[in-house]
Structure 1
């Protein structure tokens, strides 16, 4: 299905539509051909954290993961937006110790854990968040690990002209089929570059993980990351998170990753399709709901799995007492 009309997520309170969010979606085949589209599939946007699996490819392809004998949960953290739970922080600390760097080497700024219970623990004990608490800490350790393996000075690895960033531009250019040296860029929340690309290009990039016709090194790296994410979904995000829950419930038949400002991307290994979506106004709850509906539409989740994940697939609006006062839905086309 291809339509210029975006998906429209309506937020109802009672029987009244209180908010409306327009969602653009691109779905591509193993070869990167557009199969389904809603709205402007060439809409240029920053993928943000939705493409961390692509950004983790150099860690595998360079040989750094094998050189340092990195554990699978660490490799999953390289692809993650972790929620700062104790197991996340313990794994990151162990990884840094393994490669011989201090936490201060990470260029990402600290923030409180995204997990509410973990954040409350920090506040209760008057602990200051550190760089490991940053949801992108695994990506940063991956960049540093790769630099160390290749004999590069990792200091300043977040800077535009550092070898680490040139490597990321190259991998994103190769996988998304868009020259990342010639497109607008900004600085992501964790301090490294992010690049504005067409939505369809994000989906094409994610098709790397289902493409059996790429070179052998790329294919093996993609398969390895798919395996570790499937086996370690907790480390992709954390407890009670949408992405973690989908990967767990489907046992890896759907791999998804969210990014800031209403972006989601993912792939379905069995169906041989990849997708990307963007909510025009950046609303996260609309992005999560739209992603769940795209997964159901594409067969990434079956009806039983959808029911088991009803918190995400059929979300309710509640008041502070916990009473249901509204819901979300996909509007019917006009």
Structure 2
């Protein structure tokens, strides 16, 4: 078994200060095209698989019955910042279902969005579950659950919602999941290999709207993410900025603990990577490098400078160092 390889380095004062090791796979129509580290490494993909978790929402007919728009489907795939557009989007979605915040099972946390955080702080209003970055995914779960007629605890592994997610997950990864962990939002998160995750993203990339029910669902979700990147993350976030930079041609999604995936429909390729120390700066830099390598992202786009090639500065604006690609990667 191969080990994780150096991918991203931090240099300061002419010396290598930190090194981020990881695994990555580029998967094309014929299989693995490029791999770094161990393509068979098993990981928890965390929120990078929200588009997989949303497949049953469309396949079941629940999305159509609820009249969901592509903008809402992007929100179902989101790790959003809890900004007003996300908060209102989830609240309106739940209201249309005849449900409310109490029906969610994701838990509450302070939103990442600066304006919404300030609003809550200044009003002494506590954050609610709608502010949870996964509340869009959970609104999707509730929509599916209403269609299936399941009980209220839709995050339980034995629940029909999660059984449908597991079936879809194993189908598109083409692997039996060796197990699951509980995600930050309380839903099961199924383990898979880096290759399985990249293979799933390639399925989304190659999916035809005129294909099977699963293909049509995958194509719609990938399109929704790329068309509404502001719903998938938010202002200043890597997912949103990268998708804007690529003009709606590519869908990308991060996951906790430094997982990142990309769906490239024009190339029918999928990317999956994991930085083993959980460093977000490294996963953002690594996926940026791979998107450049595949010609999906212009090397001179400003987002590249922010995520990969830009100078590191301290609080006074003094240059302190720089991120670099490790030799042999990117």
TM-score normalized by the length of structure 1 = 0.93
Quote the offset at 1:330 in angstroms.
0.9
CA contact (8 A) 1:23 1:290 kept: no
Once the two structures are superposed, the pairs formed by residues 293-312 of structure 1 within 5 Å of their partners are: 293-305=289-301, 307-312=302-307
Distance in 1 (alpha carbons) for counterparts of 2:96 and 2:122: 30
Contact 1:122 1:128 in 2 (8 A): yes
Name the residue aligned to 2:115.
Answer: 117
CA contact (8 A) 1:254 1:295 kept: no
SS at match of 1:210: helix
Structure 1 residue 304: deviation in Å? 3.6
| Paired residues for 1:118-133 under 5 Å | 118-133=116-131
Q: Deviations over 1:150-180 (max 9, x none)?
A: 2x13411000101011001000011001123
Please name the residue that 1:320 is paired with: 315
Helix, strand or coil for the counterpart of 1:281? coil
1:241 paired with 2:237, answer yes
Aligned-pair CA distance for 1:210: 1.9
Deviation of 1:124 (Å): 2.1
The CA distance in 1 between the partners of 2:264 and 2:23, in whole Å, is 19
Secondary structure of 1:41 counterpart: coil
Please, which moves more after superposition, 212-221 or 94-103? 212-221
Q: Deviations over 1:61-112 (max 9, x none)?
A: 1111111111222111100000010111001000000111111111011011
Contact 1:30 1:207 in 2 (8 A): yes
For 2:150, the equivalent position in structure 1 comes to 153
Find the partner of 1:200 among 182, 195, 200: 195
Between 1:112-121 and 1:36-45, the stretch displaced more is 112-121
**Counterpart of 2:78 in 1: which secondary structure?**
coil
Cα deviation digits, residues 211-257 of structure 1 (max 9, x gap): 24895211211121122112211000000111111111211222110
Q: How far apart, in 1, do the equivalents of 2:240 and 2:80 lie?
A: 10
Contact kept? 2:308, 2:324, Cα under 8 Å: no
Q: Give the 5 Å matches for 1:140-289.
A: 140-150=138-148, 152-180=149-177, 183-212=178-207, 215-289=211-285
For 1:139 and 1:5, locate their aligned partners in 2 and report how far apart those are by CA, in whole Å: 31
Supply the distance in 2 between the matched residues of 1:329 and 1:116 (Cα, whole angstroms).
29
TM-score (norm 2): 0.94
Residues 294, 148 of structure 1: alpha-carbon distance in 2 compared, 3 angstrom cutoff: same
Offset at residue 5 of structure 1 (A): 6.8
Greater CA drift, 63-72 or 235-244: 63-72
Where 1:117 maps in the other structure, the secondary structure is helix
Matched residue SS, 1:325: strand
Deviation of 1:260 after TM superposition, in Å, equals 0.5
User: Hey, what's the Cα distance between the residues in 2 that align with 1:7 and 1:64?
Assistant: 44
Secondary structure of 1:76's counterpart equals helix
DSSP-derived class of the 1:301 partner:
coil
Unpaired runs of at least 5, structure 1: none
- Corresponding residue of 1:329: 324
Verify the 8 A CA contact 2:241 2:303 in the aligned structure 1: no
Count of matched residue pairs: 327
In 1, are the aligned partners of 2:281 and 2:307 still within 8 Å (CA)? no
Q: CA 1:200/1:4 → structure 2, altered by over 3 Å: closer, same or farther? A: same
The question of whether the paired residues in 2 share the 8 Å contact of 1:6 and 1:25 is answered with: no
Task: Indicate conservation of the 8 Å contact 1:105/1:155, yes or no.
Answer: yes
